[in-house]
Amino acid sequence: MPIETVIEISNLQTKFGSVLIHEGLNLKIQRGEIIALIGDSGAGKSMLMREIILLEKPSAGSIKVFGLDVLNLNEKQCFWLRRRWGVMFQQGALFSSLTVAENVAVPLREHTQLSKRLINEIVAFKIALVGLPASARDKYPAQLSGGMIKRAAVARALALDPEIVFLDEPTAGLDPIAALALDKLIVRLKEFLGLTVVIITHDLDSLWAATDRVAVLADKRIFAVTSIRELTQLDHPWLRKYFHGPRGRAVANKYKKINE
């Protein structure tokens, strides 16, 4: 079966005044994969995600999602496309004045005409799907642990049954046990729902535990896209610093032993 490209970015340029963030950036994301986007702080990872999901507009180039050029869509087409992806922003970005259930229901109320009863049933299912107890649905974000906040944000991202899910630093701020549990949840959801998952992360454990491929944003473009195992063998100053320091070597050795 041929590999289907669901996101294709070609010759992208992002510029703010005299500051050039992306230049000649090219990337293809395949249906059904978990792909991580990594790079130094300020390299433009989150900006690239925001451009794909129509929150920012690049200076030049092309971004196609499901074959549609997102830079040239009318309002109706944008509305339709937004229903086909879900987004978890950094720190979860839950509405503090809404309960977990109300947060998860927001996309359903904005994008559908479903009855209140059906929305409540869908919300209950999504909350269970991400491993939260039913008792969490009536709690506010301030009453949740960091891991529960992230799971609630994933549930909200899944509310409309998207085909693509974008996760911006999903494990940031979590303890190692909660981070590993979230990585495992992401893999299970990808397999169970047939999702394409795009992760922005600095977490070395997540790269080894959850990804099919990793794209490296360096020197204003995508330097490489390959498996984490192959990526550690490439020669680039930032990659050497990232993967071959004490922390990088320890994580690599741990997962190599697990997979032996």
Helix (H, G, I), strand (E, B) or coil at 197: strand
Strand partners, 87: 166
Side chain identity, residue 22: H
Record the tokens describing residue 167, joined without a space: 């996760």
Instruction: Tell me which residue of 49, 59, 41, 114 sits closest to 86, measured CA to CA.
Output: 49
Q: Which residues does 86 contact at the CB level (< 8 Å), separation at least 6? A: 107, 156, 157, 158, 159, 160, 162, 164, 165, 166
Q: Which residues does 48 contact at the CB level (< 8 Å), separation at least 6? A: 9, 12, 14, 22, 25, 37, 217
Query: Which fold does the domain 1-84+199-259 belong to in CATH?
Result: Rossmann fold (3.40.50)
In whole angstroms, what separates CA 61 from the centre of its chain? Answer: 22
pLDDT at 235: 86
For residues 166 and 88, the answer to whether their CB atoms sit within 8 Å is: yes
Average pLDDT by stretches of 10, the chain with 260 residues: 88 92 96 95 90 93 93 87 90 88 94 92 96 94 93 95 95 91 95 96 91 94 92 87 81 70
Record the tokens describing residue 203, joined without a space: 């977490």
Domain locations along the chain:
1-84+199-259
Q: What is the pTM of this model?
A: 0.92
pLDDT at 254: 76
